[in-house]
Structure formats: structure tokens, C-alpha cells
Amino acid sequence: MKNILITGGAGFIGSHVVRLFVKKYPRKNIINLDKLTYAGNLENLKDIENKKNYTFVKADVTDYKAISEILRKYEIDGIIHLAAESHVDRSIKDPFCFAKTNVIGTLTMLQAAKEYWGCNLANAKEMSKLHKFYHISTDEVYGSLEFNSSLFKETNKYEPHSPYSASKASSDHFVRAFHDTFGLPEVITNCSNNYGPYQFPEKLIPLVINNIEHNKPIPVYGKGLNVRDWLYVEDHAKAIDLIFHNGVVGETYNIGGLNEWKNIDIVKLLVKIVDEKLGRKEGASESLITYVQDRAGHDLRYAIDSSKLRNELGWKPETSFEEGIVKTVEWYLQNKEWLANVTGGAYQKYYKKMYLNK
Ligand code: NAD
Ligand code: TYD
């Protein structure tokens, strides 16, 4: 596949995937399609924006005409679809926006790809050699685990609880339906919580780092006992690269770091690391920890069994949590301008300045 379309490439995970592909595959054309919502930030890609094999296109994944034209114009062979609304708290406030982008947007991408590639059940085998539609999904579609129960496997039934996870579950079902009905060569991955550079500071880890640095209260939902399974974002990007090229069409792979943490323990660890890096006394920022009202429908525990991916494709995470969390804190403390632009809104002017000369 020579011309690869990555949607949502200006977001957190997407920008790491775009960077990896642009650098690793200089002879392939990487087209980053993004609407630049509040979560899209082209400053994430400053270091590669002038590379010859990189193109940015501003478009909305729900716009069928625009997507069809882009597929034709850039002769797209493969698609990695990450564009989505991604924050659970926002999905509780505005579920319609999640249905529109995550469900209708994915359906629009599927239909446009199917039409452009000319997929049908009769040519499915041939199509699977030429093209791939890779849908990036989440472990949250599986619902919530009790403590000490087994991990999410690919065979678990879908049991989403939040509007976010319901919208991602729905989009996964559409992807499989396009495979079964039209022979669209697809693959889906369900990944656990990511952390690392360029994450929008509404998510737990960057929010906590930012608040400690600025001496602001750290909101911990409920008792802080909910568990998440954290994976360093570059390890996710490497898994995406592997699966895009070697994943078997029609299959689903779970991606996770076997790295479960209670929220309160992560918060305390971040207090320790950030205080140390800022030269503050040990525990100086502990008083910022503030227990607040729990999230509605807050899933207790996510934990991923990624043995299928490990055994069949040979993937494993390269960055230990101890290393990744320190790297992440250092990145946010060193990239104060990025963080200030994001929290202050200046990042939204970057597209106009760089691409429209305004
Ligand atoms: P993000 O919110 O940081 O980025 C989403 C990107 O999609 C942004 O650049 C935004 O501008 C773009 N976008 C939103 N609506 C769009 C539209 N209508 N048209 C075109 N572009 C649009 O999200 P993220 O954390 O990088 O997540 C990326 C994908 O990975 C999502 O599909 C998410 O469900 C999935 N995922 C995320 C995590 C995680 O921990 N962050 C874990 C597993 C799976
Ligand atoms: P988040 O980063 O929003 O990811 P997700 O909800 O997709 O897992 O939240 C991670 C965990 O941290 C989740 O259990 C909710 C909790 N949380 C807080 O306690 N305080 C916060 O301010 C945020 C944003 C999250």
C-alpha cells in the first residue's frame, strides 16, 4: 500500500502514528485527514510537517462527498481510522456529538472506501491483498471488570456503559458488517488507556501533571479506586504499524500493557515525580488531591489480555511504565509552550497561520 490515509492524525495517538509512518516509510505517502476539533492540534506534528511524503487535509469524516474526493485524489490504498470524539466526560454531556462523529463518521468512511475500492463479496480475497481499512477502537467496548476477574479477551461480549464506549462499540459493529456484507478488508484493534506526550490535558495523566505544576486542585473521581491498564502511546503506534501491515483481515486484536493502576496510586506517583522534578519538598503537592463527585456510570476496571497479538504477530510493549511515566512528566514540564497553547487556546490558530497564511 503506497498511499495511506490516517484520520484523526492531529490528535494524541494519531500524531504519533503519523510521525512513525512518515519517518519509517519515506517512499509511502501519508495523508493526515483531520477536522481539527478542540482535540486536533497541528503543533503536534511540527517536526514532520515539511516532509515530502506528508500531506495534511482538513476534512470531516462525516462528509461523504469530501471523503470520496480525498480517496480519489490521493489514490488511497489503505486507511487507518482514528478520528473520533474520545473523552468519556464529554460524551456524558453531549452524546449526540459522539454518535455523529464515531458512528456516522465511521460509517461514512466505510461506505466511501467500499465504493472507491469497489469491494464486494465476490472479490473479497483479491481486495484483501490490495487494501486495508483499519479501525482503531477501545477496550471500553467490553464494559467493566470486577477486581480479580479475568482480563478482556477478543471473544468477550460487548457491554459498553458510557455514550463514548457505546458509540465505539457501534462503529466496531459497522466495520464487521462491512466485512461480512461487502467483503471490505478490515481489521479492528481494541486498546487500553494510552499515555505520553501530546495528550490533551483533559485526560487523567496530563491533567494531573498540569495541575500539580500550577498548584491547582487534582480532581479524583469517587474514591480513586477505579483501575485502568496504561500503555505508552509509542508502543500503541508500533502495534498499529505491525497490525496495519501484518494483521489478518477480518480479525480483531486487543492491545494492552499488562499494567493496571488504581487512579489514586497514579495520582500519588505523579505528585512524587513532578514534585521531585520541580525541586519541591517530597509530598509538597499531596494536599492538592481533591476527591470529587464520581463520574456517572464510572467503569470500575479495564484490563486487557493482548496474548493474541503477542503470540500471533510478536508484539510486546518496549517502554516500561516506570520509564514511560518519567519520560511523560519530563515532556510536559519541558514543553510548557505546547501546554500553554493548548490550555489557552492559541493552538487553534496554528492551522490558519501555517496552512492559510492568515
Ligand atoms: P484525540 O481526541 O486526541 O484525537 C481525535 C482526533 O480526531 C482529533 O485530532 C480531532 O480533531 C479528530 N476528529 C474528531 N472529530 C473529527 C471529525 N468529525 N472528522 C475528522 N477528524 C475528527 O483522541 P485519541 O486519544 O488520540 O484517540 C484516537 C483514537 O484512538 C480514537 O478513535 C479513540 O477512540 C481510540 N482510542 C484511544 C485511547 C486513549 O487512551 N486515548 C485508547 C484506545 C483507543
Ligand atoms: P480518562 O483519562 O478520562 O480515561 P478513561 O475514562 O477513558 O479511562 O480517565 C482515566 C481514569 O481517571 C478514569 O477512571 C476516570 C479518572 N479521572 C479522575 O479521577 N479525574 C479526572 O479529572 C479525570 C479526567 C479522570
Domain ranges of the chain: 3-356
Q: Which residues neighbour 57 within 8 Å (Cβ) at sequence distance 6 or greater?
A: 31, 32, 33, 34, 70
What pTM did the predictor assign?
Answer: 0.98
Spatial distance between the Cα atoms of 54 and 27, rounded to a whole number of angstroms:
10
- Per-residue pLDDT tens over the stretch 189-242: 999 999 999 999 999 999 999 999 999 999 999 999 999 999 999 999 999 999
Residue 293 burial (CB < 10 Å; 0-12/13-18/19+)? Answer: exposed
- Ligand 1 in reach of 57 Cβ (< 6 A): no
CB 140 within 8 A of CB 191: no
Q: For this structure, is 139 an active site residue?
A: yes
Pocket test for ligand 1, best of 16, 32, 82 (most atoms within 8 A of CB): 82
Query: How confident is the model at residue 86, as a pLDDT?
Result: 98
Pocket test for ligand 2, best of 228, 288, 293 (most atoms within 8 A of CB): 228
- Per-residue pLDDT tens over the stretch 5-64: 999 999 999 999 999 999 999 999 999 999 999 999 999 999 999 999 999 999 999 999
Q: Give the DSSP H or E segment for 137.
A: strand 132-138
* CATH superfamily placement of domain 3-356: NAD(P)-binding Rossmann-like Domain (3.40.50.720)
